[in-house]
Structure formats: structure tokens, C-alpha cells
Amino acid sequence: MIDATQAGSAFLLGLSGAGHCLGMCGGIAAALNLGGTRSSAITIAYHSGRVASYTLLGALLGFAAASVDIAAWTIGLRYLAGLLLVAMGLYIANWWRGIAVLERAGATLWQPVQRLSSKWLPLRRWPQGFALGLCWGLMPCGLIYSSLAWAATAQDAYTSAAMMLLFGLGTLPAMLATSLGAARIQAVLRQRGLKVIIALLLIGSGAWTLYITAAHSGHSSHAMHPDDSAPSSHSNHSSHGDHSGHNPAQAAPPG
């Protein structure tokens, strides 16, 4: 089950990526609403497909991560979750752009998908918009890829899907504002102060995740390997018998 930290972080990730999302997808989002009522249906279909693609990919990766039932794997994924939250916070605030390497790595995957999606352009009916949205979830975006990796660390298909669903919903204000021409909303979402606040919240969540994981790992290690110097109840009993001079074998009646 998704917890409050996962839910809040997922939505904030989508919301904070407004500038990045508009730079990569803003053009097509703006073009979707140029034809009146019919284009409005296509717009809704496109964004629905886009969010659905995030959700389906999250479920798939969460299921794959859950297929490995090893304690060290689980602990490693928890550390990865914390590190990814910190990295994405730094990325959003533009303090460190390390995860941009994922965009270059994803370019190879995106090329065949882009060729497929071009067959539906120009968009004339809403099913085409939905199909294009499904493809657009695979575009080479460091924020999307790192969010998917983070969601996979939940090791549960339903939880990972819910995390990516909330991520997708978080992207809607910026993307719909572009589609509908709401310049004021775009300006608010692009504000530097808002991005810094969200980045600090994500970094704090990541740091807390790392702390909790380290504390839990240390506690589990201590529980599995108790202090060998601590005397056991059996040894105390034997020692007590030795000091009292009582020997059970001598006290037994003759046969």
C-alpha cells in the first residue's frame, strides 16, 4: 500500500517538472487544442494515454522488482529510493544534473517509438491522441526514467503503479495549462521559488528514507548477530551448579 511520503513525493515530482515537461512536450500539448471541440477530446485522450503509460510502466517495474525475494535486494532498493529522491530534488532545483544521463541512454529506446507514433500525426480522432499519449510516456526524459526507477523500489506492482499515477497527475496542471493556453498557470508553475521548495522537500524525504533504512539495517544486523559475550541462560544455570558444589549425578539414587 502506498504511504503518505510516497504519494506526496510522487505528486510533487510531477508538479515540479513543469518547466522540463513544457520544454519537451509543450509543443504538441499546445497544438492539441487548436481545433475546437474535437481537439478538446483529443487533448483529454492524449493526456489520459500519457498518464496511463506512466502507470502501466510503474506496475511492470514494481512487479519485476518484487520478483526478487532477497533481503539484501530489498535493502539495496530502499537505499536507491532515498538516493533517487535526493538526486531528483537536486535536478529540479538545477543544482546537479546527473540524472540527465538517463535521457541520453533513453534516446535509443525512443527512436523506434517515435517512428511508430509519427503514424498517428496529424491527430484527427481521440483514439489517435490516446495512442500517442501511450507512446509519449517512453520519451527520453530523465525525470520520467528516474521516477520510474524510484517507483520500482516499492517492490509492489500496485504501489508502484499508484506512485506513477500520482506522478502523471502532478504533470497535468502544466501540460493542461499549455493545451488550454493558460499562461498565468504556466508562469506560476515555472517560478524558481516553487521549484526550490519542492526540491528541498524531496531532498528531505530522500535523506529521511536513507536514515530510516540505515537504522533498520543496523537493527536487523544486530538482531541476527547478538553479542557473543552475553551469557546464555543455559551457561548461567551450569555455572550456578558448579558454584554450589551440587552434582546431579551424585544425587541420583543408586540403580
pLDDT tens per residue, range 63-79: 999 999 898 999 999 99
Provide, rounded to the nearest whole percent, the portion of the chain with pLDDT above 90.
35
CA distance 135 to 133: 5
pLDDT at position 181 is: 59
CA distance 223 to 205: 27
pLDDT at position 253 is: 45
pLDDT at position 130 is: 92
pLDDT digits (tens, 9 = 90+) for 44-58: 898 899 999 999 999
pLDDT at position 219 is: 62
pLDDT at 241 over 90: no
Instruction: Tell whether 172 is covered by a domain.
Output: yes
pLDDT at position 239 is: 45
Instruction: Tell whether 119 is covered by a domain.
Output: yes
- State the virtual CA torsion across 242, 246, 250, 253 in degrees, nearest 10: -140
Half-sphere exposure for 41 (CA within 13 Å, toward CB): 8
pLDDT digits (tens, 9 = 90+) for 127-176: 988 998 898 778 878 888 889 999 999 999 999 999 999 999 998 887 77
Domain count, the chain: 1
Angle at 112 between CA 108 and CA 114, to 5 degrees: 100
Task: Name the amino acid, one letter, at 129.
Answer: G
Compute and round to an integer the Cα radius of gyration of the chain: 27
Instruction: Tell whether 47 is covered by a domain.
Output: yes
Instruction: Tell whether 240 is covered by a domain.
Output: no
Instruction: Give, for 151, the enclosing helix (H) or strand (E).
Output: helix 142-152
pLDDT range class, residue 23, cuts 50, 70, 90: low
pLDDT, averaged across the chain: 79
CA distance 130 to 46: 4
pLDDT at position 210 is: 94
**What residues make up the domain containing 123?**
4-220
Instruction: Tell whether 249 is covered by a domain.
Output: no
Instruction: Tell whether 199 is covered by a domain.
Output: yes
Of 32-36, 71-75, 110-114, 242-246, the least confident: 242-246
pLDDT at position 142 is: 81
C-alpha cell at 49: 494515454
Structure-model confidence comparison of residues 222 and 145, the more confident one:
145
Instruction: Tell whether 229 is covered by a domain.
Output: no
pLDDT at position 254 is: 43
Structure-model confidence comparison of residues 9 and 237, the more confident one:
9
Instruction: Tell whether 231 is covered by a domain.
Output: no
pLDDT range class, residue 221, cuts 50, 70, 90: low
pLDDT at position 244 is: 44
C-alpha cell at 251: 544425587
